[in-house]
Amino acid sequence: MEEVREGPELGGGMEEPASPQEPASPPPPPSPPSPAAPETPRLPAPESPTEAHARQLLLQEWAPPRGSLELPPRLTWKLLFLRRPLYRNLLRSPNPEGINIYEPAPPTGPTQQPLEALGNFRGWHIRTEKLQQNLSWTVKQQCVDLLAEGLWEELLDDEQPRITVMDWFEDSRLDACVYELHVWLLAADRSTVIAQHHVAPRTSGRGPPGHWIQVSHVFRQYGPGVRFVHFLHKTKNRMERGGLRRTRVTDSSVSVQFRE
């Protein structure tokens, strides 16, 4: 699935998304490493399911294609029941500014404050790319360590569950293109690219500014060896009298699942 569509509040057509120049690899500097995998927690007996019950619950919830999954010796169903590595958002701080996509983006005047002061951006590596005519990109990226999040090599290599990326950006009308998405599936060395996706949608310009546009893509049959997902999006800014006017973005997500 690859989708670019209008937000839930306002309809309208979209031009076909344009393909930006595709970088051969994630740009430096690299995203901060994901937190180390936590130690196996001690589960309170009255509240934790048995190994057999945890297996039954997760297989029902995950619905793997063959109806079952084999775990490596180092993993238990009880641990997976706690960590839930499938069907959840693996990005940190996916909505750092606390914006609701079911309402138009709240109006903002030009601001002098740095982006980090406007919300909780923990987990994001942030930088600015200067452009011409008072324009710039805010570039935010992070790298998801799939094994640290609770997935395992055999699952990723043999089953190759779908990896879905999704984002919402504001139709800010600051330029013809105000958003780009770049995603790389990386091997264990964090530099070998196994699959990638790049898109720079152009909005239609219809409807009032500030409504939300969804961008999404699903990686399928990407091949063995994927261990990291490097997620990067760019939003356009314009310097105006009094400060910087920004394009907002929210509800970013990376998830792994057997079904869409």
pLDDT at 75 over 50: yes
Query: How much is the pLDDT for 17?
Result: 46
Longest dimension (CA), the chain: 64
- Whether 54 is covered by a domain: the verdict is no
Tokens of 254: 């990376």
The pLDDT-based confidence of 139 (bands split at 50, 70, 90) is: very high
Residue 112 falls inside a structural domain: yes
Between 41-55, 96-110, 124-138, the lowest mean confidence (pLDDT) is in: 41-55
CATH number at residue 146: 2.60.120.260
In angstroms, what CA-CA distances link 156 with 69, 78, 146, 148?
12, 20, 9, 13
Average pLDDT over residues 87-107: 92
Task: Provide the 8-state DSSP code for 228.
Answer: E
Q: How many domains does the chain have?
A: 1
Least confident of 26-30, 74-78, 196-200: 26-30
Enclosing domain of residue 147: 2-33+88-257
Residue pair 167/215 in contact by the 8 Å Cβ criterion: yes
pLDDT confidence of residue 3: 56
**32: cis peptide before it, omega within 30°?**
no
Quick check: is 79 in a domain?
no
User: Which among 176, 179, 167, 168 has a CA at the least distance from the CA of 105?
Assistant: 168
Quote the pLDDT of residue 204.
Answer: 76
State residue 5's pLDDT score: 59
Residue 52 lies in a domain: no
In a domain, 72, yes or no: no
Residue 76 lies in a domain: no
Q: Which residue has the tokens 């395992």?
A: 152
Per residue in 194-245, pLDDT tens?
A: 999 999 998 877 767 788 999 999 999 999 999 999 999 999 999 988 889 9
pLDDT of res. 116: 87
In a domain, 138, yes or no: yes
Q: What is the mean pLDDT of residues 171-178?
A: 92
Higher per-residue pLDDT: 250 or 118: 250
pLDDT the model gives residue 209 = 74
Q: How confident is the model at residue 47 (pLDDT cuts 50, 70, 90)?
A: low
Examine the pLDDT at 20 and tell me if it is beyond 70.
Answer: no
Q: Determine, yes or no, domain membership for 55.
A: no
